[in-house]
Amino acid sequence: MRKNNLRIQQDDTGNLKLLRDGQKMMIYTLLASLIINSTLRRDPDEVLYFLSIFVAIVAVMGVLKVGKGLALETWQKVLAALAMFIPGVSIIVMIVLNVKATRILRFAGYEVGFFGVKD
């Protein structure tokens, strides 16, 4: 954690923007996937399957942004991105990355709520 803080202080604006944007993407895709999956169980529909794939791709983009903002190694970002396609594991990865991003954003002076940084 300390190593990431030192890296982020060197380039505050870019990394913090990546953390803010990526965190919001992850939070909204997590909520969208929960709604889509609960709907799919009741009424399987082709449109919902395509929508769930789209949500997974957006989640990957959010994870990659947060990973870059946290200054993670390339292999860590790839592993986290691949985890977005594994049910259960994706939620754990998003929660861990979200907690790390929240700590750094709060340390930088941002007010972080349930849906990420408050605008």
Q: Do 53 and 106 meet the contact criterion of CB atoms below 8 Å apart?
A: no
Is the residue at 115 inside a domain? Answer: no
Is 95 a domain residue? yes
Is 119 or 33 the better-scoring residue by pLDDT? 33
Q: What is the pLDDT of residues 98-117, one digit of tens each?
A: 999 999 989 988 888 888 88
pLDDT bracket for residue 12 (50, 70, 90): low
Is residue 42 assigned to a domain? Answer: yes
Examine residue 117 and state whether it is found in any structural domain, yes or no: no
Residue 96 within any structural domain of the chain: yes
Write out pLDDT tens, residues 89-103.
888 999 999 999 999
Q: Tell me the per-residue pLDDT of 19-70, one tens digit each, with 9 for 90 and over.
A: 999 999 999 998 998 888 888 888 888 888 888 889 989 999 999 999 999 9
CA distances in angstroms from 43 to 69, 85, 93, listed in the order given:
38, 21, 28
Are 90 and 58 spatial neighbours (Cβ–Cβ below 8 Å)? no
This prediction has a pTM of 0.81
Range of the domain at 13: 2-109
Specify if 46 maps to a domain: yes
Which letter does DSSP use for residue 109 in this model? T
Count up the domains in the chain and report the number: 1
Helices (H), the chain: 2-10, 12-42, 46-69, 74-83, 89-107
The number of beta carbons lying within 10 Å of the beta carbon of residue 93 is: 20
